[in-house]
Amino acid sequence: MNRRHQIRTRSWIVAGALLLGVCALAPQPAARAQALASASPERKVEIPFNRYYTGAELEAWMAKIAEAHPELVELRSLGESRNGRPLTLAIVTGPGELDHSEKPAIWIDGSIHGNELQASEVVLYTMWYLTEAHGQIPAITTLLEDYTFYLMPLVNPDGRAYWFEEPATPHTGRQSIRPRDLDRDGLVDEDPLDDLDGDGSITQMWREDPNGQWERDKHDPRRFYRVEEGQRGSWSYLGQEGLDRDGDGRANEDGPFGDDMNRAWPAGWKPDYVQRGAGLYPLEAPEARVIAEFMIAHPNIATAQAYHNTGGMILRGPGAPHRGEFYPREDLRVYDEMGRIGEQMLPHYNYWIIHEDLYIVHGGFVNWAAEGLGAFAFTNELMTFRHYFWSETRPDERAMWLFRDRLEFGLSFKEHEWFDHPQHGRVLIGGLNKWSSRLTPTFMLEEEAHRNAAFTFYHADQMPKVDFDRVATRSLGDGLWEVTAELRNEKLIPTRSALQQNRGIGLPDLVECEPASGGVLAGGVLAHWQDRPLAREQRREPGRLLLDEGVPSRGVRTVRFLVEGREGDELTLRFTSERAVDRERTLRLRAGE
């Protein structure tokens, strides 16, 4: 049985409580009621989210948001793409004494595949909504007070520019744009895409043929269908619109398309002969390399979210069966709970495992974020045809034509026209254009953006939130004192994932005990508050207790120190973590406290 079918969905009461916990939308003061009811705050920046933007337009919108909300947003250049386009990161967090790097953070990016346009719009919407809602919707204000969002709407600006500016299919621009000899004939980019009818899309070519395998629909001439085996049709399908420019019998097979940057990360990476598009070595692409450098330099990134299209999926690793050991049981419990909530927030989306439910991916970004950094990482595959008619099954061909005709008004189809082809003679050119698949229809785009942004708000809201809970001192006589402290994490994500513990990723959490006078003689971890013996004692530097196990999911970590001192002396406890806000508690040594 498939793993996902074995997961038991928890009660709707618990699920509902968790959903409310995303934004804690309990009754609020009357002044907030309208904003909460509509979930649409007053706006400083108006962005239409019923259209798609070029890379330059995305950059301009990011700049406008940053200008309108300077207290919340820092724009930072991570470098340039292979062809010199900007790679811009937005750092979004609430104002206050803490730097963005001192809060737990979520990384969110889009369009590592340049043709997957709506991924960028979703990240832009996330940036816009966070900044506009701050100060108006209490839950979002609290979210930005507690956490940091690292937002990169456009990872592959070259691919996106190609899709907008050059003739394309729905799939063109996925890779990086660089000269390559894709057909291994010693020539580079000599047989690119040809837009023979000048409509901006690469559609299909058909030729009349008394021995063909296809017929044209008499009632709807836009449609062709394959005849039964053994029968003869009247048409032959010639493939994509284009020319054979190098005489090898193929058209459009050697354009300026480089590597697949979502196969270029150092987590189970395999060379090009195993997985096409992998490049020469991990992080060869400058776009991937600068992201990796930033994420490694910011160990406060506890979670990651990448957006792709298409299919309506919430994906987690592993990307290949042999990488299963990188997903310990304790971490899977966290993934599964977030994935189940995501399925409820995103109708017609499925929470799936990449290699098990989709296909094998070696060296994917979310695989590296999870397996290399120990972050909890998801890929959302945006847009599903099932959402077109709110159906649990994909619409059939008739329903799809109804959608194209009645809801898109024919804009995703290019009428067939005759063309005198230099190699095939008289042919028909036309069919579904580059807007016809993969992309969320523009009238549905804002809802998709909002639901996915809300999922990442929920995702972010599960990052660690730790503080000292119970703290007690007890006199043992002769100037010796027992100090017991409980650290409580109220959130789902632990301060250190099980993978981090198992693989030694990142720095352990640290609890320091500093008496005003005297020293710390012993220190360690307790299994339970009431226990007398330590479950684990740290012999060296007992006043600096390393917690490789961190503070668990929705749980506590209890520590105890044996210190020297006098009654009334002051003592300071400090908690430090890469993925939680540092905490400090000052107390006095008193019997029975």
d(CA 303, CA 316): 12
Structure tokens at 13: 């009461």
d(CA 501, CA 508): 8
Given this model, what pLDDT does residue 421 score? 97
197-253 per-position pLDDT tens digit: 999 999 999 999 999 999 999 999 999 999 999 999 999 999 999 999 888 888 887
DSSP string of 271-336, one letter each residue: -TTTSTT--SSTT-SHHHHHHHHHHHH-TTEEEEEEEEESSSEEEES-SSGGGGGGS-HHHHHHHH
Domain ranges of the chain: 3-162+259-383+441-461, 179-256+387-432, 466-588
Q: Decide: helix, strand or coil at residue 412.
A: coil
Q: How confident is the model at residue 575 (pLDDT cuts 50, 70, 90)?
A: very high
d(CA 263, CA 364): 5
Given this model, what pLDDT does residue 190 score? 67
Q: Which helix (H) or strand (E) holds 447?
A: helix 445-461
Predicted TM-score of the model (pTM): 0.92
Q: How far is CA 120 from the centre of its chain?
A: 11
Q: How confident is the model at residue 13 (pLDDT cuts 50, 70, 90)?
A: very low
Structure tokens at 182: 């894709």
pLDDT > 70? residue 33: no
Given this model, what pLDDT does residue 245 score? 86
Given this model, what pLDDT does residue 191 score? 72
Given this model, what pLDDT does residue 38 score? 58
Quick check: do 3-162+259-383+441-461 and 466-588 share a fold?
no
d(CA 173, CA 83): 13
What is the CATH number assigned to the segment(s) 3-162+259-383+441-461?
3.40.630.10
CATH code matching the domain that covers 466-588, chosen among 2.60.40.10, 3.40.50.12660, 3.40.47.10, 3.40.50.2300:
2.60.40.10
d(CA 589, CA 195): 81
In this structure, are strands 204-212 and 425-432 parallel, antiparallel, or unpaired? antiparallel
Cis previous bond, 328, omega within 30: no
From the CA atom positions of the chain, what is the Rg in Å? Answer: 28
Percent of all residues in the chain with a pLDDT value above 70, rounded to a whole number:
92
Q: How confident is the model at residue 182 (pLDDT cuts 50, 70, 90)?
A: low
Q: Which residues of 183-196 are buried (b: 16+ CB within 10 A; e: fewer)?
A: eeeeeeebbbbbbb
CA 426-429-430 angle, 5° bins: 160
Phi, psi of 370 (to 5 degrees): -80, -50
d(CA 127, CA 134): 11
Q: How confident is the model at residue 41 (pLDDT cuts 50, 70, 90)?
A: low
**Summary mean pLDDT of the chain:** 92
